[in-house]
Amino acid sequence: MEANEASSTADTAPKLKVMVVDDSKTIRRTAETLLSKAGYQVFSANDGFSALAEIVDHQPDIIFMDIMMPRLDGYQTCALIKNNEKFHNTPIIMLSSKDGLFDRARGRIVGSDKYLTKPFTKEELLGAIQEYAVDHSA
């Protein structure tokens, strides 16, 4: 019986919460599918303004943020999150189709923790989570 109790405890442990912010529905769905299958609780937003509201509501453990988005781009959104006392320690991984040094540097300036170039792989997404996020179920 002890084994059953242990497995039920693991099943009820809170899942790591991951936020995906991208104006591309394809990117959001791809990331959501990969991350959900890996056992993460996934939330998404299609621009920076929507992301800010979702972040307050769901308090994600890690955020994947596209750079080029309408209304509020990834750099601006990242800076707002990192300047908020409650969320400044939340890891933010910038996503971009550009792989330039300037873009990476600008991401660091606004407080991002890592930079992934699109298209990203499952291994890159999961690796970033393992590297930066604190797992509450551990």
Please tell me the predicted confidence (pLDDT) of residue 14. Answer: 66
pLDDT given at position 99? 77
Residue 101 and residue 108 in contact, taking contact as beta carbons nearer than 8 Å? no
CATH 3.40.1190.20 fits 15-132, yes or no: no
Cα–Cα distance, 68 to 65 (Å, whole number) = 9
Mean pLDDT by 10 residues, the chain (138 residues): 43 80 96 95 96 96 95 95 96 90 91 93 94 65
Which residue, chain included where needed, has tokens 């300047």? 83
Residue 53 burial (CB count, 10 A): 10
Q: Give every strand in the sheet of 92-96, ordered side by side.
A: 41-45, 17-21, 62-66, 92-96, 114-117
Report the distance separating Cα 34 and Cα 100, nearest Å. Answer: 26
Q: Domain ranges in the chain?
A: 15-132
